[in-house]
Each structure stands twice: as structure tokens, then as C-alpha cells.
């Protein structure tokens, strides 16, 4: 507990009396009790359209991100927030915390000062200044909530995360990126070809592995967000596909077929083969590393139908994890204790399954809602993104692990496929 409390306050202004109350808030969250946050309108330092618009966007983003966590309730009724002394007593009725936000703009840049106080005493929890170009005002809200969630849970949650996927709206298949809440859609590639199966590199790298047909062969490429450019990783004859980084970002597991059947290989970041991992008479594909880098899960038809297998990172100790149905596209949870995959039946239904590694117990996330495929865990492990045909075309959806919360990400023209969630 002492370490958790320290993590809450070291980067920010803190008071000894506030630390005890913050610990109480943390315990409430651990026990499933929702903390109530007072969230008045943010203060606009001037009446310019730019400042007022940014203030509204940041407030809306903050509100939606906090509610999406399902950890907090919001109270928005109370006195209008102004500069100067805060009437904490007035805001403390039914609320545990108060967020005060102040927005200003200068030369096309937006500044946002966020301050969080405990109620009723008004002890400061933290205060932080955010700056960004005006066009990215919503991003400030996402980053603030990520910092806020981290101070009370030790996890940044998903508010600042993004999802990359393939979409065919331009008649070719290109890579797109979108905020987790369905906003800020942006096209990444313009190859007029087929770009599919993206996978994020480890946290902070800003890189995405994917398969591209732009040179006429399914080749493995790496896209860098900072530059907007791609470089080829593997262009061997046949398949170079379904690739995933190791947790340290130094190696890649990929499906190659230049030696015959589709098999799994371990590559370095430049595509040089370190070792061949599998060699069977069936196709082995869709591999990914566990969080500690010691295990790899993959799909193989070696038992007759596609099933999920697990092996050591050096290719030894192969173990079958599933039995029945048509299992595909497995991914590890961030903690490494679960996997998610798609399971199909003879009637053509495909559902998202969550399976506990230790016990083998499963939870069916979707049911009777078309083809649900290609799951991807959120960075906090509490949600999965996936594609579904429940409305006809293949759309992006987000669901809680027990399936009680399911929502379409947004309306995106064309068909979307193979989402990957930023770690």
C-alpha cells in the first residue's frame, strides 16, 4: 500500500492528510465501490471561439473517458467554477473528488491546467499543465484522464490509447488509426494495395508491423508513426505475414512459407532469421508472445482443424490449448494470464472467446451476432476490440471481457478488419 500511495503522489503536489484520503479512494476502487467525481464546466481564460471550443472538447472528452472506465460516477451540478477561491463545501455534497480545469490559447496552441482535489477538505491530489496544438485539443482530455486513472489504480487505462486496423473504403486495403472512443480517424498508408494484419510494437515505439501486397507478394513491413514511412522487414518468396513483436521489441515472430508449409520463424528487427520455431505438416500461423516473452501462442491445423497451441519461445514444449470448433486469431492479455480468440462452428457463427491460461476456463463474449473475429486486448486488459458482421458489413466493436458491455466503435465507411490496440 505504501508503494501505491507513493506512486499516486510523487510526481505531483501532495499533502500528508491528502495521502490518507487518496488511499481510501484507492481502496474503494479495489472493493468495486464507485467514487463520485464533481466535474464542473472548465474555465475558459478568454471568450475567443478557439478557447471556448477547446474547453468544450476537452471537457466532453474528459467526461466520456471517465465514465467509460466504469470505476467512477460523475456529478455535474453545482456552482459555476471561477478563478480564485473554490467553495469545496458546496461541491462536497455526495462527491469524493473535484476536478478543476482551466483552458487558454495562444498562437494556435491550447494550454490546459488540470487540478484534482479531495472533498470536502479540498486537499490537492495533483495538478498538471498540458499543451498541444489547437487541432489536438481532445488529445489533452485523453492524456489527462490517463494520468488521473494512473494515480488511483496504477494503470493508465485506455483513454489515451488508439486502435490501428485495415479498411477497404478506398477500394484497396489501407491501414487506419483511430482513438479508442471512435474519434480522430486518420489514414496511415496510401499504397493502393492490400495492407492487412497490423500489430503494434511495444509501448512507446510508435511502430506497426503489417503485411503488404504492394510489391505483388505478401511481404512484411514496418510502419513508423513519427515519419509516416514504411520499410520492408521480410520479402521472401511466399508468405511473410501474421507477425508480432516480442515484449522487448528486439525480435519478431512471423509466418513464412519460403521453405514449404507455412511455419513460424523468429526474426530480428531487420528480418534476419534467428531460428525456425515450428516444422509440421500443417500450417502454423497467427503467433504472438506472452507478456514475459517466455511463451508463444499460435494457430495450427495439425490436429485436423485449426486450434490454439502454446509453446516456449524457443519452439519447444508445444501444448494444445483448445479443442473443438474453428479457432483463430489468438492474442495474449497484457498480464499474460488470459488469451482471446475467435471460435467458429459448422453453421458459420464466429464468437469471441476469453480463456484463462491456468484453468482453461472460457467466457464467451459474443453470441448470435454474426461473425465476430480478430480480438485485440485493451492496454489495461479490461476490454477487447474485434470485428463483427452483426450489422452486415464488418465493423469495429469494443466489449468488456464478460460481454455485458458491447458497443460499435463508430460508423466507418467500407469494411474494417484485424484491429490491434495500442499497448
Q: State the CATH number of the domain containing residue 394.
A: 2.120.10.30
The strand pairing partners of 100, in sequence order, are 115
Which residue range(s) make up the domain with 354? 162-421
| Span 311-336, average pLDDT | 96
Q: Comparing 52-56, 138-142, 148-152, 240-244, which segment has the lowest mean pLDDT?
A: 148-152
Q: How many other CB atoms sit within 10 Å of the CB of residue 143? A: 21
Q: What is the dihedral of CA 263, 267, 269, 270, to 10 degrees?
A: -90
> ∠ CA(78), CA(84), CA(85), 5° rounding?
65
For residues 149 and 199, membership in a common domain is answered with no
How far from each other are the two terminal CA atoms of the chain, in whole angstroms?
A: 26
CATH of the domain at 35: 3.40.50.10070
In the predicted structure, residue 369 carries a pLDDT above the cut 90: no
Q: End of a domain among 153, 180, 207? A: 153
Q: At a CB cut-off of 8 Å and minimum separation 6, what does 225 contact?
A: 177, 188, 206, 207, 208
pLDDT, residue 12, reads: 30
* pLDDT confidence bin for 138, thresholds 50/70/90: very high
Query: In terms of domains, do 77 and 32 share one?
Result: yes
Considering its fold, how many domains does the chain have in total?
2
Tell me: do 320 and 265 sit in the same domain: yes
What is the pLDDT at residue 18? 35
Q: Does 300 lie in the same domain as 219?
A: yes
Lowest mean pLDDT among 78-82, 130-134, 264-268, 290-294: 78-82
Of the candidates 170, 272, 257, 175, the residue with the CA atom closest to the CA atom of residue 224: 175
Could you tell me the three cell numbers for 273?
A: 532469421
Of 153, 186, 220, which residue is a domain's last?
153
What are the strands, taking DSSP E only, across 120-194? 124-133, 162-167, 174-179, 186-187
Task: Judge if 71 and 199 occupy the same domain.
Answer: no
Whole-model pTM above 0.75? yes
Q: Does the pLDDT value for residue 20 go beyond 70?
A: no
Length of the chain, in residues:
423
The bridge status of strand 186-187 relative to strand 350-356 is unpaired
Residues 179, 96 share a domain: no
Identify the helix (H) or strand (E) that includes residue 371.
none
231's CB contacts (< 8 A; 6+ apart) are 221, 222, 224
User: For residues 195 and 173, what is the distance between their CA atoms, to the nearest angstrom?
Assistant: 5
Same domain, 124 and 167: no
The whole-angstrom separation of Cα 46 and Cα 50 is 9
Indicate whether 179 and 56 sit together in one domain. Answer: no
Confidence of residue 29 (pLDDT cuts 50, 70, 90): low
**Statement to judge: residues 365 and 232 lie in one domain:** yes
Q: Examine the domain organization and report whether 136 and 167 are in the same domain.
A: no
- The number of C-alpha atoms within 13 Å of 136 and in the hemisphere containing its C-beta is 12
359 and 215 inside one domain: yes
pLDDT confidence band for 88 (50 / 70 / 90): confident
Summarised one tens digit per residue, pLDDT across range 201-212 is 997 889 999 999
Q: Higher model confidence: residue 1 or residue 137?
A: 137
* Least confident residue range of 45-49, 81-85, 355-359: 81-85
Grid cell locating 368: 448470435
Average pLDDT, the chain: 90
Boundary-marking domain end, from 92, 125, 153: 153
Percent with pLDDT over 70 in the chain: 91
Do 170 and 145 sit in the same domain of this protein? Answer: no
pLDDT greater than 90 at residue 249:
yes
What pLDDT, in 10s, does the model give residues 53-68? Answer: 999 999 999 999 999 9
**Dist. CA 349–CA 341, nearest whole Å:** 14
Q: Is 23 helix (H, G, I), strand (E, B) or coil?
A: helix
Amino acid at each position: 500500500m505504501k508503494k501505491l500511495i507513493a506512486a499516486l503522489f510523487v510526481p505531483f503536489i501532495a499533502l500528508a492528510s491528502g495521502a490518507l484520503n487518496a488511499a481510501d479512494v484507492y481502496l474503494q476502487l479495489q472493493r468495486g465501490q464507485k467514487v463520485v467525481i464533481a466535474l464542473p464546466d472548465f474555465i475558459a481564460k478568454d471568450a475567443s471561439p478557439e478557447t471556448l471550443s477547446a474547453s468544450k472538447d476537452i471537457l466532453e472528452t474528459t467526461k466520456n473517458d471517465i465514465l467509460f472506465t466504469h470505476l467512477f460516477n460523475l456529478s455535474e451540478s453545482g456552482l459555476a467554477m471561477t478563478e480564485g477561491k473554490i467553495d469545496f463545501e458546496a461541491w462536497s455534497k455526495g462527491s469524493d473528488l473535484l476536478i478543476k480545469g482551466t483552458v487558454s490559447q495562444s498562437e494556435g496552441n491550447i494550454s490546459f491546467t488540470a487540478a484534482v482535489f479531495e472533498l470536502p477538505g479540498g486537499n490537492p491530489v495533483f495538478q498538471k499543465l498540458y499543451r498541444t496544438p489547437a487541432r489536438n485539443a481532445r488529445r489533452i482530455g485523453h492524456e489527462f484522464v490517463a494520468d488521473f486513472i494512473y494515480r488511483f489504480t496504477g494503470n493508465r487505462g485506455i483513454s489515451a490509447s488508439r486502435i490501428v486496423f485495415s479498411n477497404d473504403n478506398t477500394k484497396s486495403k489501407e491501414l487506419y488509426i483511430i482513438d479508442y472512443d471512435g474519434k480522430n480517424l486518420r489514414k496511415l498508408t496510401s499504397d493502393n494495395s492490400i495492407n492487412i494484419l497490423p500489430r503494434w510494437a511495444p509501448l512507446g515505439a510508435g511502430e506497426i508491423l503489417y503485411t503488404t501486397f504492394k510489391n505483388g507478394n505478401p511481404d512484411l513491413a514496418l510502419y513508423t508513426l513519427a515519419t509516416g514511412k514504411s520499410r520492408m522487414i521480410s520479402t521472401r518468396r511466399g508468405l511473410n505475414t501474421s507477425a508480432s513483436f516480442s515484449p522487448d521489441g528486439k525480435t519478431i515472430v512471423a509466418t513464412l512459407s519460403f521453405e514449404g508449409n507455412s511455419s513460424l520463424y523468429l526474426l530480428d528487427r531487420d528480418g534476419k532469421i534467428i531460428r525456425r520455431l515450428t516444422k509440421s505438416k500443417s500450417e502454423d500461423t497467427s503467433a504472438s508472445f506472452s507478456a514475459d516473452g517466455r511463451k508463444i501462442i499460435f494457430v495450427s491445423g495439425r490436429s485436423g482443424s485449426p486450434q490454439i497451441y502454446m509453446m516456449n519461445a524457443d519452439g519447444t514444449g508445444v501444448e494444445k490449448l483448445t479443442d473443438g470448433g474453428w479457432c483463430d486469431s489468438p492474442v495474449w492479455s497484457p498480464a499474460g494470464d488470459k488469451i482471446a480468440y475467435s471460435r467458429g462452428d459448422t453453421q458459420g457463427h464466429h464468437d469471441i472467446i476469453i480463456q484463462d491460461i491456468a484453468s482453461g476456463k472460457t467466457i464467451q463474449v459474443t453470441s448470435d451476432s454474426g461473425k465476430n473475429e480478430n480480438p485485440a486486448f485493451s492496454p489495461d486488459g479490461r476490454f477487447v476490440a474485434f470485428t463483427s458482421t452483426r450489422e452486415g458489413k464488418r465493423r469495429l466493436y469494443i466489449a468488456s471481457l464478460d460481454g455485458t458491455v458491447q458497443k460499435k466503435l463508430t460508423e466507418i465507411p467500407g469494411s474494417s478488419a484485424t484491429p490491434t490496440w495500442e499497448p
